[in-house]
Amino acid sequence: MDGRIVPALTCALVASPGYLARHGTPASIAGLERHACIRFRFSESGRLHKWLLHDVRYDLDLDPEGVFVTNDADAVIDAARAGVGIAFAFMRERIEQDMRDGALVEVLPGACRTLPPMWLYYVNRKHVPAKLRAFIDVLRERADTD
C-alpha cells in the first residue's frame, strides 16, 4: 500500500458582477435564501451537494433551493459566470483567475468551510493504471504548492 495526502480544499461562494448588480449581494448566510442558487447533484446517488458553510457561531450544511442543478462541476461555474445565480465552487483555486479577471466575485468571503486534508491509499504495484497515476500526480503537484 502507498498513500498520498490530498491537500485541504478551500471553497468559495461566487456570482457574476451582473447577477449581483441586478439582485444585490447577500449580507449574511440567511440572505442566500432570497437568491437564485446554482446546485451540484452527485451522479451516483442523485443527492444534491450541501453547501458547507461557517457562521460566526457554528458550522452549517445549507441546502438552498436551486434554480439550476447539474452533475457537472464545470457547468456550475459556467452558470455563475453567465449570471444565473450564486454558486458553491468546490475548489477556490479553479476560480481564482475568474475572480482576478472580474468574471466572478466572491460572495460572503470566509463563509465557506475549508475541508481538511485527507489521505488517499492505493495499492502500490509496478503498473499503476494511467488514470490513477494521473490523479496521483495532480495530488502530488497540489501538495507541493500548498
- Asked whether residue 93 is domain-assigned, the answer is yes
One-letter amino acid of 79: A
pLDDT in tens, 25-71: 999 999 999 999 999 999 989 999 999 999 888 899 999 998 999 99
Interstrand relation of 37-40 and 66-70 (parallel, antiparallel or unpaired): parallel
92, 3 contact by CB (below 8 A): no
Whether residue 83 is found in the same domain as residue 133: no
Q: Into how many domains does the chain fold?
A: 2
Whether residue 62 is found in the same domain as residue 16: yes
- Burial environment of residue 138 by CB neighbours within 10 A (0 to 12, 13 to 18, 19 or more): exposed
CA distance 10 to 4: 18
pLDDT in tens, 82-131: 999 999 998 898 899 999 999 999 999 999 998 888 787 877 767 778 88
- Asked whether residue 136 is domain-assigned, the answer is yes
Expressed as residue numbers, the domain containing 64 is 9-115
CA distance 66 to 75: 14
pLDDT at 111: 95
Whether residue 107 is found in the same domain as residue 122: no
67, 48 contact by CB (below 8 A): no
Tell me how far the alpha carbon of residue 97 is from its chain's centroid. 15
CA distance 130 to 47: 29
| Cell numbers at 101, concatenated | 479577471
Whether residue 23 is found in the same domain as residue 94: yes
CA distance 101 to 108: 19
31, 58 contact by CB (below 8 A): no
The reply to whether the predicted model has a pTM over 0.85 is: no
pLDDT at 6: 74
Whether residue 17 is found in the same domain as residue 82: yes
pLDDT at 142: 64
Whether residue 78 is found in the same domain as residue 97: yes
pLDDT at 118: 78
pLDDT at 143: 60
Whether residue 111 is found in the same domain as residue 123: no
86, 50 contact by CB (below 8 A): no
